[in-house]
Amino acid sequence: MKRYCEKFILNDLKKKMVFIGGPRQVGKTTLSKNLCKNQENNAAICAYFNWDVDEDRRAMLQKKWLPGTPLVIFDELHKYLRWKQWIKGVYDSRTTKQQYLVTGSARLDTYKRGGDSLLGRYHYWRLHPLTIDEIPEDLSPKEALRRLLTIGGFPEPFLENNEQEARRWRRERFDRVLKEDVRDLDHIRNIQLLSVFVDALRSRVGSLLVLSNLARDLEISPNTAKMWLELIAKMYLGFTVYPLSNKVPRAILKPPKIYFFDNADVLNDDGIKLENLVATTLLKRLHFIEDYYGYRCSLNYIRDKDGREVDFTVTINNALEYLIEVKLSDDAISSHLKYYAGKLKPKQTVQIVGDLGRSYSKDGILVVDPISFFTKISLAPWK
């Protein structure tokens, strides 16, 4: 299946290099190979090199591709220690309109955040797992939602639709991220304790994450807990959502909440899994808007010192677009959501209810099921 960002990446390749980052096994290699085919006759139009393949690695470093090849793809290039300087030399010395696509995971994003000698030479895209608004055409939205909540949105297990195999796939992916990717990115002595730390986070999804308490429970320093939380975000295992404070009177300033890119990583109940799915879907949309349209976006939550809380706020270019509350089955409008809708006056206030018989709107607040919201009412920016 085609991914949501393919046509936009093809357009960007006409102007600059394109870097694609994202979680391990999210489909970066498959996407690269899809881009490698002519859209009209399905013929190969590129030279493809995978750093993990010995023959490809040697050929790549020796620059063994034809100057007339329209597109050259370097898969997993971030594993080469000097990849940034190398690709800069390749790009600056090209003599044709040859296009270059580079894929990687955390290290690409790490370089992007720091000083970057490649500035102005590339566009950066973040690839996300499948969501309700990006599913195969032959699959019903209801079945897709079921799979997303139980199996997760990573393409291989989602398409295979086998919960046992999905558990095996998830364990193997998890081990490779912690034992291989973390080793490549950072020097962590106690990988086993880091795994325990991640498991502790998996049971705290959607809750306020007080790192000092978690550090005490695991007998590590608060600084280590903070460093590991940042590392988990760099590895695209999970992401943090911080409180909105600049527009909220008596708002708490911290702590963050944690969510996971793989919805099946969540160890909590069905309500929290639905909340995690909403978080990943919102983040996917905001990353698309940032990567393609260039706007600054932010996903936050609200909690004030009086205990009033709303699950998510969506801000685009400093404008508050959405207030969103997530419920598994309660279709009565949240009093906290109603309170902050009046205070902050966002463009739209929504309560997403997983098990909802009929959508309705009252006092300017839309109560809707997740399928309707993400596929009909709130169109994806790539559609």
Structural domain spans, the chain: 6-126, 141-377
Q: For position 41, what pLDDT does the model report? A: 47
Q: For position 205, what pLDDT does the model report? A: 96
Q: Report residue 293 as tokens.
A: 């349209």
Q: Report residue 38 as tokens.
A: 């002519």
Question: Which residue bears the tokens 């013929």?
Answer: 43
Rounded distance between C-alpha atoms, residue 122 and residue 232, angstroms: 25
352 pairs with which residues across the strands? 326, 368
pTM of the model: 0.93
| Vertex 237 angle, CA 299 and 112, to 5° | 70
Among the listed residues 192, 191, 217, 221, the one whose alpha carbon sits nearest the alpha carbon of residue 204: 217
Question: Which residue bears the tokens 């357009």?
Answer: 11
Residue 307, phi then psi, degrees to nearest 5 = 85, 5
Per CATH, the architecture of 6-126 is what?
A: 3-Layer(aba) Sandwich (3.40)
Pair 193, 181: CB distance under 8 Å = no
Q: For position 38, what pLDDT does the model report? A: 62
Q: Report residue 185 as tokens.
A: 């990115």
Pair 206, 268: CB distance under 8 Å = yes
Rounded distance between C-alpha atoms, residue 182 and residue 356, angstroms: 41
Q: Report residue 380 as tokens.
A: 């994806």
Length of the chain: 383
Among the listed residues 313, 285, 275, the one whose alpha carbon sits nearest the alpha carbon of residue 379: 285
Alpha helices for 151-238 (secondary structure H): 155-160, 163-176, 182-185, 191-202, 211-218, 222-234
Q: For position 322, what pLDDT does the model report? A: 97
pLDDT in tens, the chain (383 residues): 889 999 999 999 999 999 999 999 999 999 998 888 765 545 568 899 999 999 999 999 999 999 889 999 999 898 888 888 999 999 999 878 899 999 987 666 555 554 567 878 999 999 999 999 999 999 999 999 999 999 999 999 999 999 999 999 999 998 888 777 776 665 666 777 888 999 999 999 999 999 999 999 999 999 999 989 998 898 899 999 999 988 787 777 789 999 999 999 999 789 999 999 999 999 999 999 999 999 999 999 999 988 999 999 999 999 999 999 999 999 999 999 999 999 999 999 999 999 998 999 999 999 999 999 999 887 789 88
